Structure 1
Amino acid sequence: MNKVLLLYPSFLNMEEKIKKTLYTDLPLSIITLSAQLVNQGYEVEVIDQCLEDFEYRSLEKKLNGCFLVGISAITSYQIINGLKFAGMIKQYNKSIKIVWGGWHASLMPEQTIHHENVDIVIKGPGEEQIVDVADCIKNRRSLNYVPNIYFKTPDGEIKKTQEKIYDTFQLKNNITDGYKTVDVERYVHAQWGNQRVLGYESSRGCCCQCKFCSIGSLYHGKWYGLPAEDVCHDISYLKRCHKIDAVHFFDNNFFVNKNRALEIAKLFKENKLGIRWDGTIIVQQFLLYKPKEIEFLIESGLYRIIAGIESGDQDVLKKINKHHKNEQVIECVRRCKEYGLLPSFSFMVGFPWDPEEDTKRTLELASKLRSIHPETEILMFIFSPYLGTPLYETAVAYGMSFPDTLEGWAKFTYEKANTPWLSKKLCKKINRYLTFFGTINQSEKEKEFFNKFHQLL
């Protein structure tokens, strides 16, 4: 037996008649794992439930020769769908080991490992661990020496192994090997004025310690980036083999290393890739780039920057450890308009301290940004606290209760109001703006209504 099956569960509640989700790109969390496994001689099959569902009958064929199943999920309906899949695995063959990873399992490993359909949990990035786990299970060796995992012994005892903090990106084998394990053409899509866009991850982590964000705690305040030469090599491969005209960097903070960002741009130009690209940035970082540097980035293909603004309320920004000022955000948008860049900004509303006021100020700022640069992309979300963040304890202090089961967390999603300090009136107002700013899909009649509504503010 030499086969590993990797599942990326659907984000949708299968009981609801919803056909679209905000997540439509490559399952990079799975692809990076498959890249490591195939280079160690394992047969890997990837199932992306976001693209296709499966029945038990078809699953039997996929499990032929399989000894390990990996499931990656964030806090969402991915959990329920992953558990259903794991239950089907156990029904077919209880000896097949099921390992969970991804954001939710990493933030809540102890609760996750206690579920009957979970045998092993990998905490944090799992590219190195997944190979070690596969080797141990296949060769019947102990898992005691694989770092950063939780596992169940044959007699049901739960064990936690030694924690290890990595200083570099864990990718031992090139991520493009993972792209070869999926039908890439199914993920190529048109967006942001491009016709053939694909996602790619060149770095992970963030040096900032925002109190609402779990990235800092999961990566211990570290940032890891692939060398510029490797990034250029990979994007060249995607251009050559899949004819892409744009790449979307799914990095947590692409521009944190200015020299690397400029070197990537230089290599894109020297190799005449002709690729449009975007990346995440902190407002203060963008303002530190000199005009010639911005022009150089644009010449290499940069057309869009992505930033988490979070709030228009300065008191809230201070409490969540975001250090920019509203004036800097406004200046950032002005420069984007000047240079022809598309700014994409995300916001959160409904923090516990004064949700009415922070929502008001945030909506005012978002509206002002749109008035300066009408093409500004605004994504508005309701604040949802997570374990592993300082604001979790704050939320508890303000009366919030959290699920005590793995299934319970499935309904804890960022587009729904799970917070008790939000009034029904405020929730209704927020949901109107979630639709207006495009976070929730809207019909043509809704667009017409909210355009009129917006003009009255």
Structure 2
Amino acid sequence: HADEATVCLGVTVLTGAPIRDALHVSRAIKQARPTLSIVWGGWHPSLFPDQCLGEVSVDAVVIGQGEETFAEMVERLAQGESLDGVNGAAHRSGAAVHVEMPRLFRDVNDLPPHDYALIDVPRYFAAKGKRQFDYVSSQGCRFRCTFCADPTVFKRGWQGLAPERMARELSAHRQAYSFDEIALQDETFFTSRSRVDAIAEAFIAAKLDVPWTATMRADQGERLDDALLIKCKRAGLKRVMIGVESGSPEMLARLRKDITLEQVFVSAEKIARHGLGAILNFIVGFPGESDDSVRATLDVVTQLRAMSPNFDAAIFFFKPYPGNPIADELLQQGY
């Protein structure tokens, strides 16, 4: 509901089908309230600010980490001021598009917690069919996968929330929403061993007592010691998600995944031995991928699933999301 006191409409936009929904909402609001500023943020505007501002209903976009940028934009708009000089923003002035200087990334621990009261959390439980609470404990990724836009947006940087803050926030959220499981939706949760150790300690001390799922790279799993896995399991770790992507060493090299199949199987054996579950993610249909490469992937899927009844595999078709080297190659080839 946008009344006369509304300063602007902010829309988070992901590449793909969400663009259609964002356009539908933005155009409807702009038609009803022509003078209301509409600001897009999120992955797609961060990658393509000029393209997004080619849409007449969009007045400005936030690029990259948006908390401080959007707050400054709202303050300016509330005062009727120009968005010129707002670092991390792009905006339209007449027919011209102005892309401001990038904003330096702030430590996520300096940013306030998300206000979940603004979200209809039970609606998400209903959509999932389970009371699983999504939580992001870190930002960015240090790796260079050629199918991913994260290196473009976050410049291969990574930073994580303090373990004590995580335990405090999740304890409060559980009291408020009575969820049965936590899904830590980080790009790579196990990036820092010392931080993971401290998180497990904090969860145990807070008596969080709720199962959780976290993301892990195969090379991180290979390095992870048994003692820390035992502690994580005691703290509630139930399942890990590993992006294997391909069963072909040649394809893994092309993807710059920087893992080996040996690391995948070592990690899987360790996870199975500790009685943990795993969701193993794969992608097929990369441009130019051979039938032999796909068969190699399916063979690895079969081997991994046979290692534990708690292992599941998810196979996705490659989608050329913008902002990564493979998508750029396809554009150069005329697709």
TM-score interval w.r.t. the shorter chain? Answer: over 0.9
Q: Please give the alpha-carbon distance, in whole angstroms, between the structure 1 residues aligned to 2:239 and 2:197.
A: 15
Match of 2:81 in 1: 141
Going from structure 1 to structure 2, the CA distance change for 1:167 and 1:132 (only over 3 Å counts) comes to closer
Q: Secondary structure at the residue paired with 2:212?
A: strand
Unaligned runs of 5+ in 2: none
Q: Secondary structure at the residue paired with 1:332?
A: helix
Going from structure 1 to structure 2, the CA distance change for 1:237 and 1:108 (only over 3 Å counts) comes to same
* 1:124-183: CA deviation from partner (whole Å, max 9, x where unpaired): 121111111100111022211211211012x332111111231522762112xx101122
- Would you say the 8 A contact 2:109–2:161 is kept in 1? no
Q: Secondary structure at the residue paired with 2:131?
A: strand
Q: Give the TM-score taking structure 2 as reference length.
A: 0.94
CA displacement at 1:92 relative to structure 2: 0.8
TM alignment of 1:27-46, pairs within 5 A: none
- Would you say the 8 A contact 1:350–1:356 is kept in 2? no
- Would you say the 8 A contact 2:168–2:206 is kept in 1? no
CA displacement at 1:302 relative to structure 2: 0.4
Q: 2:263 aligns with which of 295, 309, 328?
A: 328
CA displacement at 1:80 relative to structure 2: 1.1
Match of 1:362 in 2: 297
CA displacement at 1:186 relative to structure 2: 2.2
TM alignment of 1:441-452, pairs within 5 A: none
TM alignment of 1:26-425, pairs within 5 A: 61-153=1-93, 155-169=94-108, 172-175=111-114, 178-188=115-125, 196-396=131-331, 399=333, 401=335
Q: Please give the alpha-carbon distance, in whole angstroms, between the structure 1 residues aligned to 2:110 and 2:36.
A: 26
Unaligned runs of 5+ in 1: 1-60, 402-457
- Would you say the 8 A contact 2:88–2:103 is kept in 1? yes
Q: Please give the alpha-carbon distance, in whole angstroms, between the structure 2 residues aligned to 1:195 and 1:149.
A: 37
- Would you say the 8 A contact 1:350–1:358 is kept in 2? no
CA displacement at 1:98 relative to structure 2: 0.4
Moved over 6 A (4+): none
Q: Please give the alpha-carbon distance, in whole angstroms, between the structure 2 residues aligned to 1:318 and 1:218.
A: 22
Q: Secondary structure at the residue paired with 2:239?
A: strand
Q: Please give the alpha-carbon distance, in whole angstroms, between the structure 2 residues aligned to 1:196 and 1:94.
A: 40
- Would you say the 8 A contact 1:67–1:95 is kept in 2? no
CA displacement at 1:105 relative to structure 2: 1.3
CA displacement at 1:190 relative to structure 2: 9.7
Give the % identical residues.
Answer: 27
Q: Please give the alpha-carbon distance, in whole angstroms, between the structure 2 residues aligned to 1:94 and 1:331.
A: 58
Q: Please give the alpha-carbon distance, in whole angstroms, between the structure 2 residues aligned to 1:238 and 1:247.
A: 10
Q: Secondary structure at the residue paired with 1:330?
A: helix
Q: Please give the alpha-carbon distance, in whole angstroms, between the structure 2 residues aligned to 1:115 and 1:310.
A: 35
CA displacement at 1:65 relative to structure 2: 2.8
Q: Secondary structure at the residue paired with 1:187?
A: helix
CA displacement at 1:346 relative to structure 2: 1.1
* 1:38-91: CA deviation from partner (whole Å, max 9, x where unpaired): xxxxxxxxxxxxxxxxxxxxxxx5445323001112112211111111111111
Q: Please give the alpha-carbon distance, in whole angstroms, between the structure 2 residues aligned to 1:80 and 1:244.
A: 31
Q: Please give the alpha-carbon distance, in whole angstroms, between the structure 1 residues aligned to 2:197 and 2:264.
A: 22
Q: Please give the alpha-carbon distance, in whole angstroms, between the structure 2 residues aligned to 1:190 and 1:377.
A: 21
CA displacement at 1:188 relative to structure 2: 3.0
Q: Secondary structure at the residue paired with 2:84?
A: coil
RMSD: 1.9
- Would you say the 8 A contact 1:253–1:281 is kept in 2? yes
Q: Please give the alpha-carbon distance, in whole angstroms, between the structure 2 residues aligned to 1:183 and 1:163.
A: 33
Q: Please give the alpha-carbon distance, in whole angstroms, between the structure 1 residues aligned to 2:50 and 2:57.
A: 14
Q: Please give the alpha-carbon distance, in whole angstroms, between the structure 1 residues aligned to 2:38 and 2:109.
A: 22
Q: Please give the alpha-carbon distance, in whole angstroms, between the structure 2 residues aligned to 1:187 and 1:361.
A: 37
The amino acid that maps onto 2:165 is D
Q: Give the TM-score taking structure 1 as reference length.
A: 0.70
Match of 1:39 in 2: none
The amino acid that maps onto 2:111 is K
CA displacement at 1:327 relative to structure 2: 2.2
Q: Please give the alpha-carbon distance, in whole angstroms, between the structure 1 residues aligned to 2:165 and 2:101.
A: 31
